């Protein structure tokens, strides 16, 4: 049995790992063909992101194995969040340990957090059309497609799919 996965807020000593995992995850998945792509460069600027957004990490046996960025309506990193919604973005798991439960653990922690946060009634996210494993995870956890909210990355033909989950107070 593998050691427990702990989800916690990222601290500055985690930022290099978060940048590496984000870069490696996106490249291995084929989302981008180069770490030099402008978006790839921006997602690796973890300290700047952490200054204006909430970043969590998944840690197992002292190793950072995943991360996610959280936002609510009106915050700098909110792409789709409306009033009362918690949005998560850039959910990544180190390619070396994918399918080990880290992604599921991060999403479950997000849902638990949303349930305990006053004023939050749902969790929303955006994912790519080709990202079948991510879509499968979200469906297994109860997220529903919100096709009326799908959108295109500005200046591209890349369509992003929106999912949501209503949360009940626990």
Residues 6+ apart with CB under 8 A from 112: 170
CA pair distance 134, 81, nearest whole angstrom: 19
**Residue 23, in any domain of the structure:** yes
What is the helix, strand, coil percentage profile of the chain, to 5? Answer: 35, 30, 35
**The tokens of 131 are what?**
């990202």
**Locus of tokens 């959280």:** 70
pLDDT given for residue 169 in this prediction = 66
pTM listed for this prediction = 0.91
Q: Give the count of domains, the chain.
A: 1
Mean pLDDT of the chain: 90
Instruction: Assign residue 10 the CATH number of its domain.
Output: 3.40.630.30
Residue 81 domain boundaries:
5-123
pLDDT given for residue 100 in this prediction = 82
- Identify which has the larger pLDDT, 25 or 83: 83
- State mean pLDDT over 74-100: 92
Instruction: Find the range with the poorest average confidence among 14-18, 65-69, 132-136.
Output: 132-136
pLDDT given for residue 46 in this prediction = 94
pLDDT given for residue 1 in this prediction = 66
pLDDT given for residue 102 in this prediction = 93
**Residue 156, in any domain of the structure:** no
């Amino acid at each position: 049995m593998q050691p427990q996965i702990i989800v916690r807020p990222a601290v500055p000593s985690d930022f290099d790992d978060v940048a590496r995992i984000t870069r490696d995850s996106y490249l291995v998945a084929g989302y981008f063909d180069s770490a030099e792509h402008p978006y790839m460069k921006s997602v690796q600027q973890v300290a700047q992101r952490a200054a204006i957004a909430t970043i969590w990490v998944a840690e197992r046996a002292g190793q950072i194995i995943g991360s996610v960025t959280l936002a609510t309506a009106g915050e700098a990193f909110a792409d789709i969040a409306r009033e009362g919604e918690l949005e998560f973005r850039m959910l990544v798991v180190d390619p070396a340990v994918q399918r080990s439960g880290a992604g599921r653990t991060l999403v479950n922690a997000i849902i638990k957090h949303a349930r305990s946060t006053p004023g939050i009634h749902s969790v929303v996210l955006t994912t790519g059309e080709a990202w079948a494993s991510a879509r499968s995870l979200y469906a297994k956890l109860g997220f529903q497609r919100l096709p009326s909210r799908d959108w295109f990355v500005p200046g591209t033909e890349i369509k992003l799919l929106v999912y949501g989950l209503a949360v009940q107070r626990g």
